[in-house]
């Protein structure tokens, strides 16, 4: 005989949950924005546990279908997944709320941390903590290349694309957009000539597990707003164009095109369209522009910014807020009496232009692209780009490793304590599968201890 509590649980699971109000959804998305540590893998796992397993707002299959779509887009896939689910449940306003709350807590926290960094970064306590964090970041970036490689490089042709992209950026020093374009062309041609190489790479398998009846279940028809409509598509694109054009025009008319703020807006608008494969993929492009071309910050500051981005909730691409803050603060854009204001405004500007395309991809492209999902002629170029990203991220790991382990160049000798911390971080990540936050915290304490002893 079935126990009463078990029978009650089964009966409850057989019935879909009650409709979710916009206010209930708002509270959940705010909570998610505050606890979304662990990078995209951790953030997606949190959403799956909360939305599919516990709350049953949508089924496993619908969740993975949305995730597969977001993985094909440039931009932070976890933030786009939150936007997608919010849009599916509560139209455009729900998507905007979900996507914004995924980013906003991280932006505010990074503004504060960036100010503490530039104002007190030379304090021995802070310097010691960062001394341990930097080698950990090197191991984290190397792990990212390994993780994406396992998912993306499932054919020797894709391995070849990854190797070619590494040579292109490391040896030939070609710009990242050119590498992306070449990879897309290779995927387009390869998808026609060797289709087997581009099937099933980089995605997630379809879900078959059930956690009970969901509010948006496998057979729940798409709501009217999620069906393709030319008029709605045109409206969203027009509003999106205005939301990009008006701030850019205001910045340009106020400060002039050569000014740092319009240049940041333009640069990060381009960067937003190149984030195939996650934040680690676009970081080399951000480095090329922010450090080498514009000189907004130094290579060491870029590594420190990535470390801060790893320790805050939200998408890792939020490191761009650090780049904007440090760049504007260092140039004293609003004068020496308003350094914090300059940094905060710049952080807001780069965040706006970085994430605006992500919202447009979901609100405009959701109904359109879902109909073509799984079509090889659309997915093969993106699969090739993901393969190229692996080579680019490996180059980024070497770059970080060089600046951390040989801070004064090869002539200055190897920094053995940093090498020890990097090896310990790699063992913790690869062998023991430790959480990134735990690794960074442990390495920060170790770095502080070594600085005090040496």
DSSP state of 52: I
Residue 176 has a pLDDT of: 74
Predicted pLDDT of residue 248 = 97
- In angstroms and rounded to an integer, the radius of gyration of the C-alpha atoms of the chain is 23
Q: Are 61 and 208 contacting, i.e. CB atoms less than 8 angstroms apart? A: yes
Q: Torsion-angle region of residue 276: left (phi > 0), alpha (psi -120 to 50) or beta?
A: beta
Q: Are 154 and 386 in contact (CB under 8 A)?
A: no
Average pLDDT across each block of 10 residues of the chain; the chain has 454 residues. List them in order.
50 72 94 75 77 88 75 80 93 95 92 90 76 84 79 87 92 82 90 82 49 80 81 92 97 95 95 72 82 90 82 83 94 93 96 94 78 63 80 81 86 91 93 83 90 82
pLDDT on residue 243: 97
3-state secondary structure of 216: strand
Q: What is the pLDDT of residue 214?
A: 82
DSSP string, 2-38: --HHHHHHHHHHHSPPPPPPHHHHHHHHHHHHHH--S
Q: Which residues partner with 216 through β-bridges? A: 58
């Amino acid at each position: 005989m079935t126990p009463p509590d078990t029978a009650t649980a089964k009966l409850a699971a057989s019935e879909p949950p009650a409709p979710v109000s916009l206010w209930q959804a708002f509270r959940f998305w705010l909570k998610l924005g505050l606890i979304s540590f662990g990078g995209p893998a951790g953030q997606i796992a949190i959403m799956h546990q909360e939305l599919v397993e516990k709350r049953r707002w949508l089924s496993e299959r619908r969740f993975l279908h949305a995730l597969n779509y977001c993985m094909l887009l440039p931009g932070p896939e976890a933030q786009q997944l939150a936007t997608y689910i919010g849009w599916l449940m509560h139209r455009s306003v729900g998507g905007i709320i979900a996507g914004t709350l995924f980013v906003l807590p991280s932006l505010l926290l990074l503004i504060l941390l960036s100010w503490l960094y530039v104002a007190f970064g030379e304090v021995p306590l802070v310097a010691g903590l960062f001394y341990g964090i930097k080698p950990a970041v090197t191991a984290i970036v190397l792990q990212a290349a390994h993780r994406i490689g396992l998912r993306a490089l499932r054919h020797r042709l894709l391995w070849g694309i990854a190797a070619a992209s590494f040579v292109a950026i490391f040896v030939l020093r070609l710009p990242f957009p050119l590498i992306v374009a070449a990879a897309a062309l290779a995927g387009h041609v390869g998808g026609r000539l060797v289709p087997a190489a581009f099937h099933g790479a980089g995605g997630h398998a379809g879900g078959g597990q059930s956690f009970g009846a969901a509010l948006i279940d496998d057979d729940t028809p798409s709501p009217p707003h999620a069906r393709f409509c030319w008029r709605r598509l045109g409206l969203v694109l027009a509003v999106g164009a205005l939301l990009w054009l008006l701030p850019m025009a205001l910045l340009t008319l106020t400060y002039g095109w050569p000014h740092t703020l319009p240049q940041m807006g333009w640069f990060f608008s381009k960067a937003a369209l190149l984030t195939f494969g996650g934040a680690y993929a676009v970081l080399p492009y951000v480095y090329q522009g922010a450090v080498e071309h514009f000189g907004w910050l130094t290579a060491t500051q870029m590594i420190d910014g990535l470390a801060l981005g790893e320790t805050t909730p939200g998408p890792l691409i939020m490191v761009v807020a650090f780049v904007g803050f440090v760049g504007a603060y260092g140039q004293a854009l609003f004068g020496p009496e308003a350094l914090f204001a300059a940094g905060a405004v710049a952080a807001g500007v780069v965040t706006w232009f970085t994430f605006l395309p992500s919202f447009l991809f979901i609100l405009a492209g959701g109904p359109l692209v879902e109909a073509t999902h799984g079509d090889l002629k659309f997915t093969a170029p993106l699969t090739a780009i993901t393969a190229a990203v692996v080579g680019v991220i490996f180059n980024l790991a070497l770059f970080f490793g060089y600046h951390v382990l040989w801070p004064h160049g090869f002539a200055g000798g190897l920094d053995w304590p940093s090498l020890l911390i990097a090896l310990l971080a790699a063992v913790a990540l690869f062998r023991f599968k430790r959480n990134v936050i735990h690794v960074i915290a442990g390495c920060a304490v170790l770095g502080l201890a070594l600085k005090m002893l040496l």
